[in-house]
Structures are given as structure tokens and as C-alpha cells.
Amino acid sequence: MIEVNDIHKSFGESEILKGVTTQFEKGKTNLIIGQSGSGKTVFLKCLLGLFEPEEGSICYDGRTYSSLSGDEKRDLRQEMGMVFQGSALFDSMTVEGNVTFPLEMFTKQSKSEMQDRVNIVLKRVNLIDAHNKYPSEISGGMQKRVAIARAIVMNPKYLFCDEPNSGLDPKTAILIDNLIQEITEEYDITTVINTHDMNSVMEIGQKILFLKNGLKEWEGTNKEIFKTDNAAVTDFVYSSELFKKVRQMYIEERN
Ligand SMILES: Nc1ncnc2c1ncn2[C@@H]1O[C@H](COP(=O)(O)OP(=O)(O)OP(=O)(O)O)[C@@H](O)[C@H]1O
């Protein structure tokens, strides 16, 4: 579980996060949504320990980040997996090389231990015959699977994903969303996903944090988001004609 307590983050004179408090439970897919510039990426970078808030605290299963020693912070960061926007694979390495990389960097495992672990995670993301292919030889959806395999190879307690669906067709996007949710539940990971994708909100939004101008405007589940009367949330969610129709149908059903 990650507990975020009243965090503030500024750059120079400009305060980007203005006191955000929330909790992310383990085994759940937690989504951060909000308009461009609302502070989602800055918030995610605070969770990753890349930015340290000037005020407030972030607590990872009882460990308050700002109170940890340098070594403890490093250990905690090794419990975090990250799926970057656009996958961020190493083009010159094979699929297997990309997934082995964190094990080579951060563990003292033998070659055969690494090989076993890599085989397990590649199988888990349904990539069986791609070990020796290069990123340029596989589809965008397969690249995402490799990025997920690399993010979970160290058996993380926390998984952070920045726009994991960007660039994917809607059907592949849903498969990737479902894979992230299954892995989150199976390994009891605390997963936090930064997304613009309303399909993801509907499919896997077990907890949604809506940020507006650096503040928590609303939080709830994917079932609750369609019932809320919060104007900022409805403006955001129903900016698409399709979702306006869904809401209209919901209201008609309710009456
Ligand atoms: N390293 C930085 N230095 C200065 N300002 C920054 C830095 N990182 C982000 N900002 C500012 O913080 C604000 C929020 O940016 P952020 O990237 O968190 O928005 P976002 O909600 O993720 O937007 P998008 O959906 O477009 O990615 C922006 O005004 C941005 O310019």
C-alpha cells in the first residue's frame, strides 16, 4: 500500500502539486487521470522517488520515503517496476536482453537463474517465441508486453505505468490493460497508472484519482465515476460524444 499525505511540489515559483492526499491499495489497479498539465506526471515521479516533495510524505508499506537512509531508498527503488510511455526498450538488445537487463544490473543471480526468471515472465506476458527478436521486429503490443515483463522481472511490490496504452489500437490496448490488472492481482502489486484513456478507466479503474490544477478533485471507482455530479469530472469524462451517450442512457435507466 502507498499512502500519500498532503504532498506539495514546486518548480521555482510555480506550485504544481498543492497538497494531495490519497491511498493506493495493493492488488489493485489505481489510475491517475486529469487534464494535460494537471500534475499527473509530476505526481507519478514523486511516487517513483524521482522528485522529492517539499512538504508532505509518501509512505510505502509503512516506510516513509523522506525518513529513509540512502541505502534504504535504493532498496525501495528496486521494489519498483516501471512501464514507460512508448515502452522505452533498448533497440540494440533482443527481447531477452531487455528483460534480463535489470537482473544483470541489480542482482547477483547466476546466468541460469536469470534465464529461468526471464522465461517465467516472458511466458506470463504471453511472449513465447520472441526471445531472440529485436524490438523493431515485433509489434507495438508485443513491445508493451516486453516492457511489462521487464518491469516485473525483479518481482516488484510497486508497479508504475505511464500511459501504457499510448500508440496502441483499442483492442490491443484492452489486452494490455487486462494483462496489467491480472498481474497486479496475481502478484499482489500496488499498481499506479497515469492515463488519458477512458476505456482504461472503464475496464480497470478499481480506484481513480482525478487531479485538477495540482489538487485532488475527486476519487472513486469506475462504477462511481459514471454517477458523480462533480462538474470537473463530468466535463472531463464526457468530453467524448460516446461517453455523453453512455451517461444519458445511465440517467434514463435511473429515472
Ligand atoms: N522538471 C520540471 N520543471 C519545471 N516544471 C515542470 C517540470 N515537470 C513538470 N513541470 C510543470 O508541471 C506542470 C504539470 O506537468 P505534468 O507533466 O505533471 O502534467 P500532466 O498532467 O502529466 O500532463 P500531460 O497529461 O500532458 O502529460 C506543467 O506546467 C509542467 O510544465
Q: Which atom of ligand 1 is nearest to the CA of 38?
A: 21
More confident residue, 226 or 156: 156
pLDDT given for residue 226 in this prediction = 80
Ligand 1 probe mutation, 42, 50, 161, 196, most atoms within 8 A of CB: 42
User: Which residue's CA lies nearest to atom 16 of ligand 1?
Assistant: 39
The domain 1-79+157-227 is placed in CATH, from the list 3.40.50.300, 3.40.50.2020, 3.40.50.150, 2.60.40.10, at: 3.40.50.300
With a Cβ cut-off of 6 Å, ligand 1 is lined by: 11, 16, 34, 36-42
Q: Which neighbouring-strand residues pair with 220?
A: 208
Mean pLDDT, residues 122-128: 91
Q: Which letter does DSSP use for residue 66 in this model? A: G
Q: What is the pLDDT of residue 240?
A: 67
Q: Are 201 and 222 in contact (CB under 8 A)?
A: yes
Q: Which atom of ligand 1 is nearest to the CA of 11?
A: 4
Name the pairing type of β-strands 80-83 and 29-33.
unpaired
- Pocket probe for ligand 1: among 7, 41, 54, the residue whose CB has the most ligand atoms within 8 Å is 41
Question: How many angstroms separate the CA atoms of 8 and 20, rounded?
Answer: 7
- Spatial distance between the Cα atoms of 82 and 45, rounded to a whole number of angstroms: 11
- Which pLDDT tens digit goes with each residue over 44-84? 999 999 999 999 999 999 999 999 999 999 999 999 999 98
Instruction: Report the 10 Å Cβ neighbour count for 250.
Output: 12
d(CA 152, CA 163): 17
Q: What is the pLDDT of residue 245?
A: 75
Nearest CA to ligand 1 atom 24: 36
Give the pTM. Answer: 0.92
Segments of the chain assigned to CATH 3.40.50.300: 1-79+157-227
| pLDDT band (50, 70, 90) for residue 197 | confident
Q: Give the CA distances from residue 9 to residues 23, 48, 133, in Å, rounded to whole numbers and listed in that order.
A: 18, 14, 42
117 in Cβ contact with 101 (< 8 Å): no
Ligand 1 pocket test, candidate residues 11, 84, 209, 236, most atoms within 8 A of CB: 11
Please tell me the predicted confidence (pLDDT) of residue 252.
77
**Mean pLDDT computed over 84-90:** 84
Q: Average model confidence (pLDDT) for the chain?
A: 92
What tens digit of pLDDT does each residue of 18-50 get? 999 999 999 999 999 999 999 999 999 999 999
Residue 159 pairs in a beta bridge with 81, 191
CA distances 2 to 10, 148, 231, 243, Å, are 21, 21, 28, 31
All cell numbers assigned to 53: 516533495
